[in-house]
Structure 1
Amino acid sequence: MMRLIGLVIGLFLMFDVQAQTPAWKKGILIDEFVYDTASFPQCHSATIAETPAGLITAFFGGTREANPDVEIYVSRMVNNKWTAPVSVADGKIDGTRKACYNPVLFQVPNGELLLFYKIGKNVGDWKAFVKRSKDNGITWSEREPMKDGFLGPVKNKPVMLSNGKIISPASLEGSPGWRVHFEISDDTAKTWRKVGPINTGTDYTIIQPSILVHKDGKLQMLARSKQRALITSWSHDNGETWTKVEPSGLPNNNSGTDAVTLKNGRHLLVYNHVRPHDSLKNGKGARTPLNVAVSKDGKKWYASLILEDSPISQYSYPSVIQSADGMVHVVYTWRREKIKYVKIDPSQLTTKKIKDGAWPKFKGYKARVAGEITADPIN
């Protein structure tokens, strides 16, 4: 009898907790920082991958973005806890020390774990490098320079197609404008060739693309822009050619996004659902809130989660993957002070259609007023 009463009470408490979870938070299983304290005051541009031994994340940290002391740090999930950040790459190059930027992790199926990153005084000075790990990120090889003219993935992960082709989403900055291109490997990341740029830099100014893989074999690109819109393009031949770039129907605040195609064919996007005021230079808006949307076709998107919403800005540069067990994992910058990790069960997500680019109303949720939001200090 007591066992039955206990079971009833347990079920009641479970349903009560579920009832109290707001719709825009349903599906979130874990919401935590990767670390509490570190030797560096600022961090940014996280990336995440699943190795045979579990999850691993990397990011850059130092006194401030672009300072010479900025290095690449790695944390691994061990026994359901993140290890303390460990530096795996610094910017010592050509007799000087420069900043490290934008690490991207990629686990080659049945192969090595790759870490792409950049070194330079600024974006125009970038040189691209890659390191390899054969023990799931515990130790790393010496850095290898990318071939001249190649940058590797600039922010978001490469994708491997069913035919074994690896497509790395890349982009260029500077004259004549921001342009997206792709770097393709036909030999499991040993050598690379280039496709694009797919835009002129004078039509739409776009960088930092992510790639979605549709059931019919089509590929879709989503990219950051200065035009206050997330820009898209499509490929019907495994990434060799791309359609004319155009607005996707979703807003963009001139900040990085990331997306992933789930095992069930749906697509999941993590981004700041923010359309900056037309008066703001280069379409640069606040990096809050941080949102999750889902789609079946990459055209009609449905609002699902709000990961962060605060007048304190800088929830940005997300990285998202789906692990072998079906769970979705997101890491992102939290106020430039820490890296946040969120685990999501995609089967629990609720959705509301996004109409005319406007985030829909959720019961109990009130969007921030623009005047409340702090300014973003850095790109």
Structure 2
Amino acid sequence: MPASNRPPTPCLAHLLRHGLTLALVAGGLLASAGELQIDRVFGPEIKTGPYKHPARVEELANGDLYLVYYGGEGEYATDTGVFGSRLTPGSKAWTPPQRIAHDPFRSVGNGVVWQAPDGKVWLFYVVRYGKTWSTSRVQAKVSQDGAHTWSDAFPLVSEEGMMVCNKPILLRDGDYLLPLYFEGGNDPEATGADSCGLFLRRSAKTGEWKQTGRIRSATGNIQPVAVETGPGHLIAYCRRGGNYLPTTTGWLVRAESHDGGLTWGPGENSGFKNPNASVDFIRLKNGHLLLVFNDSMNDRTPLTVAISSDGDKSYPSRRNVAEGPHDYGYPMALQTRDGRIHLIFTSHGRTIVNHAVLDEAWVEHGGPVRSWIR
């Protein structure tokens, strides 16, 4: 089962029954309830190249946290690879990153890791066939042993311009829904207006992946992420399209589906600012919704968490996780079996991978902050 739906391990269930406070090891420090902790995972000292972007993480069935990112000399370098690292329960350090996907002739990027209900660990990533991301296609690998070894790569989407960025969700009917997006245009500093979010839906009965309808919006959108709020009802937030020039109209794009993600209504501007940057959106165990985003139209700072307890109608609880002069990009949120909320994001010109741990109490009421970022 995916991390969000698995029952607690016997040891964890025993602790919870007896009301004990859990201490989570994250980068060697203990995170307490009502506290934010941010640890530096990897930086320029790691010999995978200075560039480290976007990072994604999954809690595996054995309790390991498994992190992936793509690295190399730069975003458009030809030597990029997808690297994986693991943090075992009780450990104080992530394992040295190991290359788990590459192409000897092309650039790769945007690794996404996810463990399916049957125990298989999926790695999705993109391979760029030309000079810009609009030439990309999606490939995948599968691990049968908890991300220790991987299958050969196989094509998942052969249509040019298709990319992945965010992890799948498990729908109530057992199907998987993998966020995709089509990136149009040939400008590395802008996306075309035809850029759009969509999904791949994998049938629980046949194992076949099929594309859903697309989310269309006025200036385009990319990198969707969705939550199922009721049977067949999904809400998606998408990064806005366009360029990086200063704007007063930079909003996160929101869309809805009423048929399990097969078709989508139009993408419309939400009330959340967006500086043309990725976001994440998850459903917590108690049914609340969590959105992590850059609360700015022009800068990837601050990095903000917002929580809704009324099904996306309002987000009264908001708090900045990181702020100041640095850039905080491509956040990913994960709630582990112990209820803690983990955020993975990159910073300092996409050279450092960060791991934050918090809970709802900290978002709602504030509390101590322990962070390496100054």
Q: TM-score range by the shorter chain?
A: 0.7 to 0.9
Between 175-184 and 63-72, report the one with greater CA deviation: 175-184
1:239 Cα deviation (Å)? 1.1
Whether the 8 Å contact between 1:43 and 1:339 is mirrored in structure 2 is: yes
In the alignment, what sits opposite 1:320? 333
Partners of 2:259 and 2:324 lie apart in 1 by 42
1:46-72: CA deviation from partner (whole Å, max 9, x where unpaired) = 111111122111001111111011111
Q: Decide whether aligned partners of structure 1 residues 35 and 323 sit closer, same or farther in structure 2, where only a CA change above 3 A counts.
A: same
Q: CA RMSD in A?
A: 2.3
1:191 Cα deviation (Å)? 2.3
Q: Decide whether aligned partners of structure 1 residues 204 and 301 sit closer, same or farther in structure 2, where only a CA change above 3 A counts.
A: farther
Q: For 2:53, which of 33, 38, 44 is the aligned residue?
A: 44
Whether the 8 Å contact between 1:71 and 1:87 is mirrored in structure 2 is: yes
Question: Which blocks of at least 5 consecutive residues in structure 2 are unaligned?
Answer: 1-31, 185-191, 242-248, 368-374
Q: For 1:329, which of 336, 342, 351 is the aligned residue?
A: 342
Q: Could you say what secondary structure the match of 2:118 adopts?
A: coil
Q: Could you say what secondary structure the match of 1:350 adopts?
A: helix
1:327 Cα deviation (Å)? 1.3
- 1:342 to 2:356 alignment: yes
Q: Could you say what secondary structure the match of 2:215 adopts?
A: coil
- 1:308 to 2:322 alignment: yes
In the alignment, what sits opposite 1:358? none
Q: Could you say what secondary structure the match of 1:124 adopts?
A: helix
TM-score, with normalisation over the residues of structure 2? 0.78
In the alignment, what sits opposite 1:261? 283
Q: For 1:30, which of 26, 37, 43 is the aligned residue?
A: 37
Q: Decide whether aligned partners of structure 1 residues 123 and 151 sit closer, same or farther in structure 2, where only a CA change above 3 A counts.
A: closer
1:242 Cα deviation (Å)? 1.9
In the alignment, what sits opposite 2:258? 236
1:27 Cα deviation (Å)? 3.5
Partners of 1:168 and 1:143 lie apart in 2 by 17
1:9-33: CA deviation from partner (whole Å, max 9, x where unpaired) = xxxxxxxxxxxxxxxx983453112
- 1:185 to 2:180 alignment: no
Whether the 8 Å contact between 1:47 and 1:57 is mirrored in structure 2 is: yes
Q: Could you say what secondary structure the match of 1:349 adopts?
A: helix
Count of residues in Structure 1 that have an aligned counterpart in Structure 2 = 313
- 1:135 to 2:145 alignment: yes
Bigger relative CO (Cα 8 Å, ≥ 6 apart): 2
Deviation above 3 Å: which 4+ runs of structure 1?
25-30, 150-153, 187-190
Partners of 1:351 and 1:268 lie apart in 2 by 15
TM-score, with normalisation over the residues of structure 1? 0.77
Q: For 1:197, which of 198, 202, 214 is the aligned residue?
A: 214
Question: Which blocks of at least 5 consecutive residues in structure 1 are unaligned?
Answer: 1-24, 276-284, 353-361, 363-379
In the alignment, what sits opposite 2:79? 69
Percent of aligned positions that are identical: 29
Partners of 1:231 and 1:100 lie apart in 2 by 27
